[in-house]
Amino acid sequence: MSPPQKGKQATKGAKQIVEENKSTLVFYRNMAIGCSVPGLIFSFFVFEITKLTVFMYILALLILGGSYQFMTFMSRAKYSDTGALVDSGNDLNMEGGIAENVKDLIILTSGTILLALISNYFWFALLLVPIRAGWMLWGSVIQPWLSQRNAQEEPELDEKKQRKMERKMRRMR
In this prediction the pTM is 0.74
What pLDDT, on the 0 to 100 scale, is given for residue 137?
86
Handedness of CA 107, 132, 89, 15 (dihedral sign): negative
Which residue range(s) make up the domain with 86? 14-126
Q: What is the pLDDT of residues 126-145, one digit of tens each?
A: 999 899 888 888 888 888 88
What pLDDT, on the 0 to 100 scale, is given for residue 166?
84
Q: How far apart are CA 35 and CA 164, in angstroms?
A: 70
66 in a structural domain: yes
Indicate if the pLDDT at residue 55 is higher than 90. yes
Query: Could you tell me what percent of the chain has a pLDDT over 70?
Result: 87
Q: How far apart are CA 66 and CA 68, in angstroms?
A: 5
**CB distance 21 to 103 below 8 Å:** no
Q: What is the pLDDT of residues 61-111, one digit of tens each?
A: 999 999 999 999 998 888 888 878 777 788 888 888 888 999 999 999 999
Closest CA to 15 of 79, 99, 106: 79
pLDDT, greater one: 60 or 144: 60
134 in a structural domain: no
Number of domains forming the structure of the chain: 1
118 in a structural domain: yes
The mean of the pLDDT values for the chain is 84
What pLDDT, on the 0 to 100 scale, is given for residue 159?
79
